[in-house]
Structure 1
Amino acid sequence: MDPRSEVLLRQADLFQGSLLLTGLPADDLLNTLPNARGWSWHAGDFAALDARFAGRTHFGTEAPGEAFDAAVLFLPKAKDLTDYLLNALASRLQGRELFLVGEKRAGIEAAARQLSPFGRARKLDSARHCQLWQVTVEEAPQPVELNSLAKHFEIEMEGGPLKVISLPGVFSHGRLDRGSALLLENLDRLPTGHLLDFGCGAGVLGAAVKRRSPDMNVTLLDVDAFATASSRLTLAANGLEGDVLTGDGIDAAPHHLDVILTNPPFHTGVHTDYAATENLLRKAREHLKKGGELRLVANSFLRYQPIIEQHLGVCAVMAEGQGFRIYRAKRA
């Protein structure tokens, strides 16, 4: 059981009514709280929860339409995403209870101050290196439209600037990160055909390739619904077409690919997590055509090269700079 869920269950008498668990972990909490439902935007967590508790978890960037008497938000990593989610919940909870739970190292004490617009927040519990906070919503705010919170920026490219639109919670929200910038400088000699932008975030890489090579078939994949919503906005802003998929890692990707292009994540929330990238490296061969190429940018300290060579073939360092390396390997 996730430690945040354990803290909730220390106060289980508060959570017996109609409850919405927002950003909940894929653990046994729904089994313990039979009147609760979930809201998830992580495709892997949603799939695991839906397999065990069919029909009890809503997936997407918008709150479910069904009514609820109280809500718990499991603190996400990004402050701006927390603001959006708290607003979405509080707007539906006039005179009722809103709870916030999170790990101390994730900044739960500071995040609790984000409850102050809705009423006087109080700490209910502190255990398992986590805290649980509560506020009675004294005046429900007007719900904020998600797209109104998008950040816009441009990347200079041949043929004119590429417009990028990112939503709260998306990696490198509102700016181009250094790893993607290095990869954008090294897009030459990509095979033609079908390209996958794995871990697409706001869609920077996939959109840039489609702009450079309009005949390329581009698929963008991410585990996070806010990321894929951002990618759709980025493609639309530039008049580009591409398939955008929300799925749990490389297993959700098409087969017979000519290229996998990626700046893969290695964090889940505040936790270091290499699982998605290591699974990609183990299974890239299954998704690439013979002669298909993996091109990946990563922090220089991450030892991906031996894993790539073990599962795919000879791996070369194509470029490096500012603490990043681009690895290039072809399926034999």
Structure 2
Amino acid sequence: MDPRSQVLLRQAELFHGELLLAGLPADDLLGQLPAAHGWSWHQGEQQRLAARFPQRSHFGTEPPERRFDAAVLFLPKSRELADYLLQSLAARLPGLPLYLVGEKRGGIERAARQLSLYGTPRKLDSARHSQLWQVAIDKVPKRPDLLALAQRFSLDLAEGPLTVVSLPGVFSHGRLDAGSELLLSHLDGLTPGRLLDFGCGAGVIGATLKRRYAAAEVFLLDVDAFALQSSQLTLEANGLQAEVLAGDGIDAAPGSLDGILSNPPFHQGVRTDYQASEHLIAQARHHLRAGGELRLVANAFLRYPALIERHLGPCATLAEGGGFRVYSAQRRS
């Protein structure tokens, strides 16, 4: 069981009545707290929770519209996202308790100070390298407008300016990261058939593909609800149409693709984790047609070429700069 869940269960007597667990891990916590309901924005965790606890977990960027007697927020990595989530929960809990749990190395002590906006916070427990804090909501905020928190910026592309819309918690919130910038400059020469932006984030790559290859069928895939909504907003801001898909990894991608483009994710919470990237490389051939291309950008120190050649075919380095490389390989027939 997740260490944060273990800390909660050390104080299980506090959690009676209808309880909302926001950002909960996909462990047995809902089984241990039978009156609790989950709210997840991670599609993979939501799928695992829904399989074990049907109708007891909600997926999306907004809390479920139902009454709760208390809520627990599992601290996310992003401070901007934590701000939004705390305000969303506090607005629904006048006079009721809000709990915050997180790992010490994830910044729980700093984040706990944010609770003072809504009352007087107090630390309840510290164990398993995690802490549990509580505040009774006596300063009730307004419900936050998520769209008002979006950051917008413009990219000057060959086809004209592209407006990018990103929500709190989305990778590289409010700016273009160096890896995506390098990949954006090397999107020529693709077969304009069925193209996938894997780990789409705010939709920069997917929107650019649709702008450049107007006749192509473009898909944008991500595991995170805030990323999915950001991608949809980016497409709408530029008058583009593409299919935005929720899924946990490349296994959720459609088949018979002519190209998979990606600046693949490498974080899970506060930890660095290359599993999704390596699984993408290992499984891309099952989603590409014969001759279809995987084109991705990655940190130059990662030994991806050998892995790519093992699963797809000869790997070419299309570009290098800023500590990143763009790799390309076509599926063998």
TM-score normalised per structure 1: 0.99
Counterpart CA distance in 2 for 1:101 and 1:41 is 17
Spell out the pairing of 1:287-306 with structure 2 (5 A cutoff).
287-306=287-306
| Cα displacement (A) at 1:139 | 2.3
Spell out the pairing of 1:91-170 with structure 2 (5 A cutoff).
91-170=91-170
User: Does residue 187 of structure 2 align to residue 218 of structure 1?
Assistant: no
What is residue 319 of structure 1 aligned with on the other side? 319
Spell out the pairing of 1:1-332 with structure 2 (5 A cutoff).
1-332=1-332
SS in 2 for 1:156: strand
**Cα offsets for 1:48-86 (capped at 9, x unmatched):** 000000110001001001111000000000011001101
| Cα displacement (A) at 1:308 | 1.0
Amino acid corresponding to residue 3 of structure 1 in structure 2: P
Tell me the percent identity.
66
Counterpart CA distance in 2 for 1:212 and 1:72 is 44
Counterpart CA distance in 1 for 2:95 and 2:45 is 31
SS in 1 for 2:160: coil
| Cα displacement (A) at 1:46 | 0.2
SS in 1 for 2:82: helix
Counterpart CA distance in 2 for 1:158 and 1:262 is 20
**Cα offsets for 1:272-295 (capped at 9, x unmatched):** 111211111111000000000000
Counterpart CA distance in 2 for 1:270 and 1:301 is 21
Counterpart CA distance in 1 for 2:160 and 2:296 is 25
| Cα displacement (A) at 1:318 | 1.1
SS in 2 for 1:161: strand
- Greater shift, 172-181 or 276-285, is seen at 276-285
Amino acid corresponding to residue 161 of structure 1 in structure 2: P
Counterpart CA distance in 2 for 1:303 and 1:200 is 23
| Cα displacement (A) at 1:16 | 2.4
SS in 2 for 1:302: coil
SS in 1 for 2:308: helix
Runs of 4+ in 1 over 2 A off after TM superposition: none
**Cα offsets for 1:158-211 (capped at 9, x unmatched):** 232100000000000000000000001111111220100000000000101111
SS in 2 for 1:100: strand
Counterpart CA distance in 1 for 2:89 and 2:121 is 15
Counterpart CA distance in 1 for 2:291 and 2:143 is 50
SS in 1 for 2:142: coil
Aligned-residue CA RMSD (Å) = 0.7
SS in 2 for 1:123: strand
Counterpart CA distance in 1 for 2:262 and 2:143 is 35
**Cα offsets for 1:132-174 (capped at 9, x unmatched):** 1000000211101110100000110123210000000000000
SS in 2 for 1:63: coil
Counterpart CA distance in 1 for 2:159 and 2:182 is 19
| Cα displacement (A) at 1:13 | 0.4
**Cα offsets for 1:94-126 (capped at 9, x unmatched):** 000000000011100000111111000011111
Counterpart CA distance in 2 for 1:205 and 1:159 is 14
| Cα displacement (A) at 1:230 | 0.2
Counterpart CA distance in 1 for 2:143 and 2:177 is 30
Counterpart CA distance in 1 for 2:67 and 2:275 is 36
Counterpart CA distance in 1 for 2:257 and 2:159 is 27
Amino acid corresponding to residue 229 of structure 1 in structure 2: Q
Counterpart CA distance in 1 for 2:179 and 2:112 is 32
In structure 1, the gaps of 5 or more residues are none
Amino acid corresponding to residue 232 of structure 2 in structure 1: R
Counterpart CA distance in 1 for 2:93 and 2:77 is 23
For these two proteins, the number of residue pairs brought into alignment is 332
Amino acid corresponding to residue 169 of structure 2 in structure 1: G
Counterpart CA distance in 2 for 1:64 and 1:129 is 30
SS in 1 for 2:189: coil
Amino acid corresponding to residue 203 of structure 2 in structure 1: G
